[in-house]
Amino acid sequence: MEQSEKIGKLKQKLKELNAEYAKIKEIKAERRAEFGRQLNEAKQKVLAEIKKAEQDLINKESKPIDITAWSGVNEPLPEFYPATLGSKHPLMAELDRVTGIYQMMGFDVVESRQLDDEFHMFDSLNFVKEHPARDGYDTFRTEEGLIPPAHTSTMQHRVLKSYKHKLEEGEAIAVVVPGRVYRNEDVDATHEHTFYQCEGVYVSKDCTMGDMLGILREFFEKYYEQKLNIRTQPGYFPFTEPSLEFMIEKPKSLGGKKGDFLEMLGCGMIHPNVLKMAGIDPLKYHGFAWGGGIDRLVMLRYGLGDVRHFESGNLNFLREF
């Protein structure tokens, strides 16, 4: 069997095992722990087989390359490559536009991290120890046990602790956190293992879900430069309660018609446990948070059909911007 075919079959087996978690609620309470233990053992075994098979494939296919070689597209290497030939990456240009809108609404901007730990990634966000997101199937980990963040919510605890003095001074915490995130995804035209998100955090004595929806509606109307209808539906995130999925009416600039809606991000009222963890009294203060992808905003704005362009380094694509 070809190595790539073997990897494909192992990943399919892993997906089937992952789907088994949905059966836990159907199993009698006294058997759930044993079922979960056996399922986790089976997943870890398949994950180890995938890791070994992928490394074997790399060892088989890797060839020495000259990293000093010029790789320009039919262009000679100039003695000094002029900066005027470069441009801002479309994701960075869009990220500046996004944070600029929030800054006009009074939000501070705090940059996310490239590596983080278990506490900030999961524990401080009310993830239970058995949550599937902690599994290597969903989240990358380094050999040292560090985690390339799977969401910008990894900064939420730091933001709450760093800015809680504002609450004591009678002001609100209002911060957005842009950053690169990483997911253990099978890459295709709509899925990428590396992309960008922007997190929003707001806490005060009297803020409500209505305030959150107003802020998000204002952002998207500024972003698409038109009035928009909005819609929500119930969602689930460990760090918010209640949780919502936020949708906007598809803008005319994207070919939208009345009644067409696009899901743009997840949001909700910050869970009391998350506030407590940061030393904020949930009986005295309330907050809300949201997070959404930047890559999708760029794809929608420019009518792009393949998310893989952003990380490809393809000069022909980048020159279009």
The answer to whether residues 156 and 289 touch, using CB atoms and an 8 Å cutoff, is yes
Average pLDDT on 140-148 reads 82
The token duo for 187 is: 């890459």
Say if residue 239 is exposed, middle or buried (CB neighbours under 10 Å; 0-12, 13-18, 19+): buried
Structure tokens at 240: 């918010």
Q: Is the pLDDT of residue 274 over 90?
A: yes
Mean pLDDT of the 189-200 span = 82
pLDDT at 81 over 60: no
Q: What pLDDT band is residue 64 in, cutting at 50, 70 and 90?
A: low
Is residue 40 scored above 70 in pLDDT?
A: yes
Beta strand pairing call for 261-270 and 240-249? antiparallel
Q: What is the average pLDDT score of the chain?
A: 82
Tokens representing 193 are 């293992």
pLDDT at 176 over 90: yes
- Residue 251 per-residue DSSP state: P
* Position with higher pLDDT, 33 vs 179: 179
pLDDT for 137 equals 44
Residue 50 has pLDDT above 50, yes or no: yes
Q: What is the pLDDT of residue 3?
A: 65
High-pLDDT (> 70) share of the chain, %: 84
Helix (H, G, I), strand (E, B) or coil at 186: coil
Q: Which of 178, 147, 130, 142 is nearest to 32 (CA)?
A: 130
pLDDT surpassing 80 at residue 291 = yes
Which pLDDT score, from 0 to 100, does residue 320 have? 74
Question: Residue 62 above 70 pLDDT?
Answer: no
Give the model's pLDDT for residue 164. Answer: 92
Is the pLDDT at 133 greater than 80? The verdict is no
Amino acid identity of residue 170, one-letter, is G
Q: Where do the DSSP E strands lie in the chain?
A: 108-109, 173-182, 194-204, 230-237, 240-249, 261-270, 286-293
Cα–chain center distance at 258? 29
Q: How confident is the model at residue 265 (pLDDT cuts 50, 70, 90)?
A: very high
**What's the CA gap between 168 and 57, in Å, rounded?**
57
Mean pLDDT of 259-288: 93
In this prediction, residue 26 carries a pLDDT of 77
- Mean pLDDT of all residues in 262-274: 93
pLDDT band at 80 (very low <50, low <70, confident <90, very high): low
Confidence of residue 118 (pLDDT cuts 50, 70, 90): confident
Identify the CATH number of the domain defined by range 90-318.
3.30.930.10
Tokens coding 97: 């536009």
